[in-house]
Amino acid sequence: MSALQLYNSLTRKKEVFTPIDPDHVRLYACGPTVYNYAHIGNARMAVVFDLLARVLRTQYAKVTYASNITDVDDKIMAASEETGASINEITEKYTKIYNDDMAALGCALPDIQPKATAHIGDMIKIIEDLIARDHAYASDGHVLFHVPSFEKYGGLSGRSRDEQIAGARVEVASYKKDPADFVLWKPSSDNEPGWESPWGYGRPGWHIECSAMSAVHLGLPFDIHGGGADLKFPHHENEIAQSCCASGSEDDLSGFAKVWVHNGFVTVEGEKMSKSLGNVQLAHDLAQKYPGPVLRLALLSAQYSKPLDWTEQRIGEAGKLYEKLQRALADDGDASGAPDAALVEALCDDLNTPLAFVRLNELLKDAGRAPGVLRASLDLLGVVVVPAEAAAVESDPAIDALVAERSAAKADKNFARADEIRDQLAAQGIEIIDTPDGAQWKRV
RNA sequence: GGCGCGGUGGCAGAGUGGCUAUGCAGCGGAUUGCAAAUCCGUGUACACCGGUUCGACUCCGGUCCGUGCCUCCA
């Protein structure tokens, strides 16, 4: 069996993955803030870590994959004010939509999907620990992490505290001892969501939730922590600071999580997705328009850590691959088999999905002989191939009549008439496909 | 400005110190009455300039260009 190698952002090297406990591999990935539909970038993260969990499961008997739902956040509050819907209505609605949409993309539900609001007590506990260890202080209703108290701060992103301040875009607030200090807890007004705490009524800062949920559900240190590349700083840097300092691991940045995996950014037709450009591609919309497996194939068509440009052409190519798979697996048949060794090997090499797809194409040519291997390989990739529906899903008396007339002409060897009808329908965007079971047609 | 990442054939996208993937598109052919599908064949591409080397797309240095983060962000 090939050894799994992963690029570790913390060490900046590709490393052979060695679990802390081979009997139980633990993976955490930062999940979405549920205030809106997930976009294709969120979907990439979900697909990448779903795949990583699947690959891990081929090698280890027990794998726990946790990915959180952030359900307390200022953006959610803003959405609530805007729409008049309650916070709960919003978070419940978009959590369900997120899970449904990711399921369409072939993502299994994480083993644990903790919600921030269910872990406020755990967060308060960590904050208290940090205060007790002189890494945090209360000030003006806020509690802040004191960055200068953690010498190794910045080790993940390669950014020193001074450099962070040099950017001069960090919020300089009167209650901060140091401009780099970040919020662990902040006060809420009466009409804002909040919880009672030793520092008064308030709510947690953004970073603390992941420190709390990962520790509670996985224990420290755990094996792999993942998320989008943009989370590296400040989110993951701050998670490390909180978790290492609260757990007495100030000297070892890997005292929180051993391996850090970051997936690359998604652009759309060469441009950054943004509301102002109006080019945000929602997973929900895409899933209405294309089969989920096609989207998954498209998302995996570049290696996870590389940037991915989301284009019509890419979806089109994924669509063609999917159609080939559908044809190859049209007959139920041998469902047994293990995933192809070369494909597994490609995935074990830092999830090299493009290389795995090369193998997939070879398997496709051999599908007649070894459909079981192809099925098992697709299973591992999380690509669920659903047989194509019989072509003519719609019915149109005029077209059906012409198709029937053409079939009759063919039977009479009147090919001139048959071709005439083909051309006529083609002009209307109708394609006739002859099959052993008769002619079918579809709009193209 | 600081910290990163990357520049590979028409497009996408792996990879390797020497044998130069793969997919899509294109072209040629087989097959099919014609199509579709399928199959076969076909492209010495690795930003630029130096260096190391018997040999570099691959290692080192520099240049140019693109891009991400540094503020909420997957």
**Distance in angstroms, CA of A302 to C1' of B25?**
19
pLDDT score at A172: 62
- Which one is the CATH code of A21-267: 3.20.20.60, 3.90.1660.10, 1.20.1200.10, 3.40.50.620? 3.40.50.620
Full-model pTM: 0.94
Mean of the per-residue pLDDT values of chain A: 90
Q: How far lies A14's CA from each of A9, A10, A259, in Å? A: 9, 10, 10
Between A28-32, A160-164, A389-393, A411-415, the lowest mean confidence (pLDDT) is in A389-393
pLDDT score at A274: 82
pLDDT score at A41: 93
How large a percentage of chain A has pLDDT more than 90?
69
Long-range (24+ apart) CB contacts under 8 A made by A72-76 are A72/A116, A72/A117, A72/A193, A72/A203, A72/A204, A72/A209, A73/A33, A73/A35, A73/A206, A75/A33, A75/A35, A76/A33, A76/A34, A76/A35
Task: Please give the average per-residue pLDDT across A211-219, as a whole number.
Answer: 96
Q: Name the token pair of A132.
A: 């007790």
A314 touches strand B (CB under 7 A): yes
Residue A162 has pLDDT above 80, yes or no: no
Query: Which residues of chain A (84-143) touch nucleic strand B at CB < 7 A?
Result: none
Residue A439 has pLDDT above 50, yes or no: yes
Between A83-87, A95-99, A311-315, A438-442, the lowest mean confidence (pLDDT) is in A438-442
Question: Any idea of the CA torsion for A352, A358, A363, A365, to the nearest 10 degrees?
Answer: 170
**Distance in angstroms, CA of A21 to C1' of B11?**
45
Range(s) within chain A of domains with CATH label 3.40.50.620:
21-267
A399 touches strand B (CB under 7 A): no
Q: How large is the C-alpha radius of gyration of chain A?
A: 26
pLDDT score at A303: 95
How large a percentage of chain A has pLDDT more than 70?
94
Between CA A444 and CA A442 the distance in angstroms is: 6
Between A49-53, A79-83, A360-364, A434-438, the lowest mean confidence (pLDDT) is in A434-438
**Distance in angstroms, CA of A281 to C1' of B66?**
23
A235 touches strand B (CB under 7 A): yes
Task: Please give the average per-residue pLDDT across A76-94, as a whole number.
Answer: 93
pLDDT score at A1: 58
A247 touches strand B (CB under 7 A): no
**Tens digits of residue pLDDT in A228-272:** 998 998 899 999 999 999 999 999 999 999 999 999 999 998 888
pLDDT score at A167: 44
A442 touches strand B (CB under 7 A): no
**Tens digits of residue pLDDT in A186-195:** 999 998 999 9
Rounded to a whole number, what is the largest CA-CA distance in chain A? 92
Strand nucleotide closest to residue A301 (CA to C1')? B13
- Percentages helix, strand, coil for chain A, rounded to the nearest 5? 45, 20, 40
Find out whether A339 and A58 touch, Cβ atoms under 8 Å: yes
A228 touches strand B (CB under 7 A): yes
Between CA A118 and CA A212 the distance in angstroms is: 11
Residue A82 has pLDDT above 60, yes or no: yes
Stretch (H or E) spanning A141: none
**Distance in angstroms, CA of A101 to C1' of B54?**
58
Between CA A48 and CA A349 the distance in angstroms is: 14
**Tens digits of residue pLDDT in A322-375:** 999 998 888 766 667 899 999 999 999 999 999 999 999 999 988 777 888 999
pLDDT score at A335: 66
Task: Please give the average per-residue pLDDT across A33-40, as a whole number.
Answer: 94
**Tens digits of residue pLDDT in A279-292:** 899 999 999 999 99
A46 touches strand B (CB under 7 A): no
**Tens digits of residue pLDDT in A110-154:** 999 999 999 999 999 999 999 999 999 999 889 999 999 998 998
Task: Please give the average per-residue pLDDT across A274-281, as a whole number.
Answer: 84
